[in-house]
Amino acid sequence: MVCQTLTAAHRERRISPLRIPRIGFCDVKNRLQRSFLQAIRELNVLLAEQTQAVIDGDPDFGRFDLLIQTVQEKKDTAKYAWIAHVESHQCEG
């Protein structure tokens, strides 16, 4: 909702030479940032678990690899969604 308002402001900004001050709050940006951070946390947990498995001499430490790869992709997707939104919406800061 907030974002639609900001997007409208952006369209005006392209038409108008006047600079609209940067807006520090954007629901979409915050949500995307939280998703990115959440994926980083999940990845950290998996890496810690795999590290512990190796330390413990667990021969099946490779079982984490597919999960790690999946979460890594999820993290990248979240990161690029966040960056793309901030770039197109200019709502960083």
32 binds Zn ion (CB under 5 A): no
Give whichever of 74 and 89 is closer to Zn ion, judged by the CB atom: 89
| Alpha-carbon separation of residue 23 from 1, 6, 8, 38, 59 (angstroms) | 14, 8, 13, 24, 52
29 touches Zn ion by CB under 5 A: yes
Least CB distance from residue 16 to Zn ion, whole Å?
A: 19
Which residue from 23, 49, 89, 92 is in contact with Zn ion, where contact means CB under 5 A? Answer: 89
> Smallest gap, in angstroms, from Cβ of residue 55 to Zn ion?
43
- The count of residues interacting with Zn ion (CB under 5 A) is 5
Query: How near is the Cβ of 58 to Zn ion at its closest, in Å?
Result: 44
Which residues of the chain form contacts with Zn ion (CB under 5 A)? 26, 28-29, 89, 91
